[in-house]
Amino acid sequence: MNSENPNFFASRHAERSFGSSPAHEYPGLTEKGVESAREQASIITGIIKDAPERGVIALCGVSEAPRTRSTAKVYTETVEREITRQGIDCFPIDESGLRFENGPTAELDEVSNSAKQHPDSKIFFSMPLFIKQFKIGGDRWQNEDGSWASEYAEHLFKNANFDIQKIVEQLNKDYRIGIEGAINPEDLAKEQLVGIKRLQEFISKIFPGRDIVVGFVGHSPNLEILAQYLAKGEETGLQVAFPETGIMQVNFSDDHADIKLPEQAI
């Protein structure tokens, strides 16, 4: 792990269901969203395959919105199937066996002990966490019930016809000229980076002595803002690319790393 800058992957949540979700197992997502998340999970499988020996790939960041947790759940199920199908030397640990009946410390000790039983294998650890101290995500735009967080947010999204790039461009303009309710994009980007670093430190304590790559599922405007902020850094060596993949990958240790922006999904 780079102590100065975090290496991570991030995904926008899959297509959101407004109202009751037709995909009952995955609250907040449409059936199309579930299917697209299954397809995009191949990116995470690739990250696992490319990880160093004994590396830990931890899909552990979500916001409080159900759609982000459901997207992480689809990724986890699909990736675990692919690990088995492809015969990848990777030991999966997910939250399905963690009940926290004896408190989180005891459960996380059990996770650490399980990893020690597989000292030479990679680890895929999926335990979607929304912990306020991480501050990854947090929907600045809409409340959990789907209502708008502010009049400004409603106008911003609707006037841009829910086009993510237009939303972010307008937000930047609005903040510069001091429109009431406009959020400072730089502050939002930095807040996400702080959360990612804290998440890495937390995971490193569970899996000491291993290389850590963390992943999280967030919200479209937030990740667009984060990607633009990173691309402006003169010392990062990062460039923005716009492929058809749904997951953004950032590696600060590679002189030619790309920020790969996901598809747009509200």
* Structure confidence by residue, pLDDT tens digits, 9-47: 888 888 877 666 666 788 888 888 899 899 999 999 999
* Type of residue at 204: S
Residue 12 belongs to a domain: yes
**Which residue(s) pair with 29 in the sheet?**
16
Residue 57 belongs to a domain: yes
Burial class (CB in 10 A: 0-12, 13-18, 19+), 4: exposed
Residue 171 belongs to a domain: no
Answer with the residue of higher pLDDT: 126 or 259. Answer: 126
Tokens 């059990």 label which residue?
110
Task: Please answer whether residues 65 and 131 qualify as being in contact, where contact means their C-beta atoms are separated by less than 8 angstroms.
Answer: no
Task: Please answer whether residues 43 and 8 qualify as being in contact, where contact means their C-beta atoms are separated by less than 8 angstroms.
Answer: no
**Domain containing residue 102: CATH number:** 3.40.50
Q: What is the pTM of this model?
A: 0.82
Task: Please answer whether residues 29 and 23 qualify as being in contact, where contact means their C-beta atoms are separated by less than 8 angstroms.
Answer: yes
Q: Which contacts of 226-231 are long-range, i.e. CB under 8 A and separated by 24 or more positions?
A: 226/10, 226/188, 226/189, 226/192, 226/193, 227/259, 227/261, 228/168, 228/185, 228/189, 229/185, 229/186, 229/189, 229/190, 230/189, 230/259, 231/259
Give the mean model confidence (pLDDT) for residues 233-239.
49
Number of domains in the chain: 1
| pLDDT tier, 257 (very low <50, low <70, confident <90, very high otherwise) | very low
- Structure confidence at residue 103 (pLDDT): 56
What confidence tens digit (pLDDT) does each residue in 140-153 have? 777 766 688 889 98
| pLDDT tier, 234 (very low <50, low <70, confident <90, very high otherwise) | very low
H/E/C letters for each residue in 194-213? Answer: HHHHHHHHHHHHHCCCCCEE
Residue 177 belongs to a domain: no
Assess whether pLDDT exceeds 80 at residue 83.
yes
Residue 149 belongs to a domain: no
Residue 129 belongs to a domain: yes
DSSP 109-124: HHHHHHHHTSTTSEEE
Q: Which helix (H) or strand (E) holds 241?
A: strand 239-241
| pLDDT tier, 264 (very low <50, low <70, confident <90, very high otherwise) | very low
Residue 145 belongs to a domain: no
Residue 88 belongs to a domain: yes
- Please give the residue range of the domain that contains residue 212: 8-140+183-260
Tokens 């967080």 label which residue?
149
Give the mean model confidence (pLDDT) for residues 157-163.
88
